[in-house]
Amino acid sequence: MDISQLLHDLFFDYTLRTVALGSAILGIASGALGSFAVLRKQSLLGDAISHAALPGIVLAFLLTRSREPIVLITGAMIAGWVATLAMLNITHTTRIKDDSALGLVLSVFFGFGLMLLTFTQRLPDATQAGLDKFLFGQAATLIEKDVFTMGIISAIALTLLAIFWKEFKLTTFNPEFAASLGFPVRLLDVILTTLLVVAIVVGLQTVGVVLMSAMVVAPAAAARQWTDKLSRMVIIGGFFGALSGVSGTLISSSGARLPTGPLIVLCMTAIVIFSFLFASNRGLFWNWLRSRRNRHTLRARAVLADLNTLAMQHPNQKHGHSVAVLRAMSTNPDGVSHALNQLKERGHAREQSKDVWMLTDEGLTEAGKDQKEDAR
């Protein structure tokens, strides 16, 4: 299927449009709220909450015998919130560290959820069919009612994020200072974590319990490579999440038996890899390029200083000096020729004769400036 046909179906095909919109909503919410989890070094929290939501989903069904999205999401939200409070209490009241508390809660809640799911599937009740889809997600089953529910819940979470923006920002970067100002840091932690729970449970039907943690961490990790400002990171994280959601949906619709949830995560993985390599702020390629440029600049300045030292020791400051002498003075003899060519391009040195170089007037002035800066 060609790109134009895919784009046409994105707007006019009911199923594709609905799934893409739901995936985009998931990406925006998880990318924006996941930024705080990444900055607070709570990346595994998303994994723990998503696994802890499973017993809530099954219990909500057992109590109501309903598979309505709002019912199952409410159950997942309550279970995720209880798991979060359990983790916070464990770390605050015992000597158990954060990672151990996360692993403990994840394993207990997920094991309990699998036990309930196995029990439910043996019931002589056809309405339980499909609950296991929450393990790996089934985005193709999204309908307009599901998307509407996801949109309302995500909008409420993002609105609360905007309302408490200043408080969340302060407690994320400097909780001690926030406490000294009288902010209820513990309460704000609970509210922010609750919003993260909301973002996670919204996406369970789309990508499932197993993969949901990637949608919390990956967009924020990718956004972090592009900026050092929190507001931009939240916006970019939401954009990357939405982009991966729509891209994964389009790719899954282009062929048979292509699962939407895993493809969304794979698209997000591609965005993360690209960001790690080519992001303007922290990309490995640009860092390597800047480091290489800085090394060449330092070598050129070192050779300029050596030429200036030789010039100061000669009655005629514009007397030429051989490359062999400069290499003997340099800590990196192999880089002298390249450094001299750089100085020539800048107009700081010129080749007087073969392998004999001298400083220009601009070079003498520049070397004098460097000498004064070093003296400071």
In the CATH scheme, what is the homologous superfamily, with its name and number, of domain 3-280?
ABC transporter involved in vitamin B12 uptake, BtuC (1.10.3470.10)
- How many whole angstroms from its chain centre is CA 122? 41
DSSP state of 359: E
Q: Which CATH number fits domain 286-375: 1.25.50.10, 3.40.718.10, 3.40.50.1580, 1.10.10.10?
A: 1.10.10.10
Q: Answer yes or no: same fold for 3-280 and 286-375.
A: no
Rounded distance, CA 28 to CA 40, Å?
A: 19
Average pLDDT over residues 44-69: 83
**Confidence label for 320 from pLDDT (cuts 50, 70 and 90):** confident
Four-residue CA torsion sign, 296, 297, 301, 302: negative
Do 29 and 219 form a contact (C-beta atoms < 8 A)? no
Residue 126 has pLDDT above 60, yes or no: no
Residue 213 has pLDDT above 70, yes or no: yes
Rounded distance, CA 354 to CA 304, Å?
A: 18
At residue 234, φ and ψ (nearest 5 deg) are: -65, -45
Residue 222 has pLDDT above 90, yes or no: yes
Summary mean pLDDT of the chain: 84
Output the pLDDT for position 40. Answer: 85
**Confidence label for 130 from pLDDT (cuts 50, 70 and 90):** low
Both tokens of 124, joined, read 């002589």
Output the pLDDT for position 374. Answer: 63
Do 25 and 151 form a contact (C-beta atoms < 8 A)? yes
Number of Cβ within 10 Å of residue 129's Cβ equals: 10
* pTM for the whole structure: 0.80
* Choice among 36-50, 121-135, 306-320 with the minimum mean pLDDT: 121-135
Domain ranges of the chain: 3-280, 286-375
DSSP state of 67: -
Output the pLDDT for position 127. Answer: 56
Output the pLDDT for position 9. Answer: 67
Both tokens of 319, joined, read 């007397």
Burial class of residue 126 (count of CB atoms within 10 Å of its CB; 0-12, 13-18, 19+): exposed
Highest mean pLDDT pick, 4-18, 126-140, 258-272: 258-272
Amino acid found at 18: T
